[in-house]
């Protein structure tokens, strides 16, 4: 397999466009739908989906880590994020990564320059499958209007030093839309 050869040869751990294309071709990494222009030198651009979640501030007086958080669902091809507001969104792409690869969700420079911060709690665990839930924060003093289908962020894939003993099979596995925090389900 392509990924094992890279690790054994001691090459850099971030996966290049050339290797991404090979791994997509063999099905080791799956990104659906995917167009050629989404593949960048060291990442894959992903597009904004049409499912969003906004915390329902009328239902709760505070957010806690041990109670379910209530969200308002929005299905729309266009959304406005008010100034200094937070919202969850999803990608159009459904991804599947092997047990020896992780992915980092990184904002696109052009998007960050308008004051929209995008993240996904750090990275995508090895073995994850599903659409990526994005955390969006408008740091600007003006609202930001977004349209589904636009490239919003990028996934940077990296090889792990070896296959994970316990690849991700958690509570967000297989998600097909934005999924709110399920921290209240954690067993500490």
User: Rounded to the nearest 10 degrees, how much is the dihedral formed by the CA atoms of 78, 137, 84, 82?
Assistant: 0
Where in 108-150 does DSSP place strands (E)? 116-119, 123-124, 129-138, 144-147
pTM value is: 0.88
Q: Each residue's pLDDT tens digit in the chain (188 positions)?
A: 444 444 444 444 899 999 999 999 999 999 999 999 999 999 999 999 999 999 998 988 899 999 999 999 999 999 999 999 999 999 999 999 999 999 999 989 999 999 999 987 668 999 999 999 999 999 999 999 999 999 999 999 999 999 999 999 988 999 999 999 998 888 88
Q: Catalogue all structural domains in the chain, each as residue range(s) with its CATH number.
A: 2-180 (2.70.40.10)
Q: Choose the catalytic residue: 4, 106, 129, 135.
A: 135
Active-site residue 73, yes or no? no
């Amino acid at each position: 397999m392509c990924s094992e050869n890279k690790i054994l040869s001691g090459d850099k751990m971030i996966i290049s466009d050339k290797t991404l294309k090979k791994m997509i071709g063999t099905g080791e990494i799956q990104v659906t739908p995917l167009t050629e222009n989404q593949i960048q030198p060291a990442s894959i651009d992903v597009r904004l989906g049409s499912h969003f979640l906004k915390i329902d501030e009328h239902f709760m007086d505070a957010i806690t880590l041990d109670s379910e958080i209530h969200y308002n669902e929005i299905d729309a091809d266009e959304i406005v994020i008010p100034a200094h507001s937070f919202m969850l969104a999803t990608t159009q792409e459904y991804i599947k990564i092997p047990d020896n690869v992780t992915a980092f969700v990184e904002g696109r420079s052009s998007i960050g320059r308008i004051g929209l911060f995008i993240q996904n709690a750090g990275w995508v665990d090895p073995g994850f499958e599903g659409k990526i839930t994005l955390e969006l924060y408008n740091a600007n003093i003006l609202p930001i209007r977004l349209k589904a289908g636009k490239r919003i962020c990028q996934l940077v894939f990296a090889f792990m030093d070896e296959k994970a003993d316990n690849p991700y099979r958690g509570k967000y596995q297989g998600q097909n839309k934005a999924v709110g925090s399920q921290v209240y389900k954690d067993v500490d």
